[in-house]
Amino acid sequence: MKKELSVFLCAATTLFLSSCADMDVTTEERLDLPDGFNWREYVDINRDVAMSQIILNITGGVAADTYLRSTASNCATLLSDNDFASDIYLKYASCPNPGWFKNSKCPGIYANRDDYNIVTGNNTTCSIGGCWSGGWDELSDKDKECDDYDWSGDKPWCEGDATDRPRTLVSFLQDSLKRYPTAAASPSQFGRILPVIKMMCLFIPKPDVGNREAVKQYLKSYYSLDGNTIVYGNRFDSTLVSQHYHVVGRYDGKPYKYCEPGSINAGSKEKANTLDGVVFRGGRDYDYGKYTFCLNKSDDKIYVVK
């Protein structure tokens, strides 16, 4: 279990595309969980925790590119069905349907989450895992504005022709899959494949699982979505979820529950403005372990619980 947890945490914290050194979990100490911690609520708020569990079991914990090279042809074949591909992209990778612009604030439910909006000085950039910035099949409002572009206005995202601007993933996915290399391709050829395709292929088991229907059932054995509600299968391990919060989530400041109605007011601290006692660990990493956090449904912002 220690080794399994180490690899799972690695998958969760690298957001699908990178390999990382093994995280050594050496003690059997009592899990440091907040009062009232509910693993279902934690996963509902932090979908990367659930999807990482699937990726762990599919890849067996090996580096992403090592796994992808061994399954390239099978993945391209299965994703050639757009309905199946959309299930992977929207339901399992939890990517947004409409597009967004990386040089501006994230839209929708991602808008106020500081784990998706990266602030550098006075600039904010949007980063949503390995998802395509053009969305699946619905253009962002900014893309639509380009159709009626007022050249005297200030709309830098409309510069250049339409092929230079963000497009929907579904509009070119199939052409891109036809160029997906075989396992025999050189590292440079493989490296040029769109990151979003690599990310989607991490949800595709090896060929011995079978056809699309068999893969769908395999994924459902971990979880599936009923609307926006997660339905868990028999393979999903709730113990790993609690261990994830103990080792990673509390230090990263992940909200572990929804804020209680009426508990948020003008005096409540937002996570983005919480610096007292927060330890800088280098890069974008901070240790928020002094606090616990909740996600407020009414404004999708993260607040300090205590």
Tell me: pLDDT of 1 over 90: no
* Measured distance CA(187)–CA(221) in Å, rounded: 33
Mean pLDDT of 96-112: 78
pLDDT of the residue at 11: 45
| Contact yes or no for 131/100 (Cβ under 8 A) | no
* Per-residue pLDDT, 125: 81
Residues above pLDDT 70, as percent of the chain: 74
d(CA 192, CA 167): 18
Contact 238, 39 (CB under 8 A): yes
How confident is the model at residue 122, as a pLDDT?
Answer: 76
3 state SS of 95: coil
CB 290 within 8 A of CB 301: no
Query: What is the structure's pLDDT at 26?
Result: 44
89 pLDDT band (50/70/90 cuts)?
very high
The whole-angstrom separation of Cα 105 and Cα 120 is 12
In the predicted structure, residue 51 carries a pLDDT above the cut 80 = yes
Higher per-residue confidence, 102 vs 87: 87
pLDDT digits (tens, 9 = 90+) for 171-180: 889 988 887 7
Q: Mean pLDDT score of the chain, rounded to an integer?
A: 78
Residue 165 near residue 101 (C-beta atoms within 8 A): no
**What per-residue confidence (pLDDT) applies to 90?**
92
Write down the pLDDT at residue 97. 87
pLDDT at 187: 66
Residues 202-229: tens digit of each pLDDT: 999 988 778 999 999 999 999 999 888 9
The confidence score (pLDDT) of residue 220 equals 95
- Structure-token pair, residue 47: 């979908």
Which of residues 224 and 20 earns the better pLDDT score? Answer: 224
- pLDDT value of residue 2: 37
Mean pLDDT of 265-292: 74
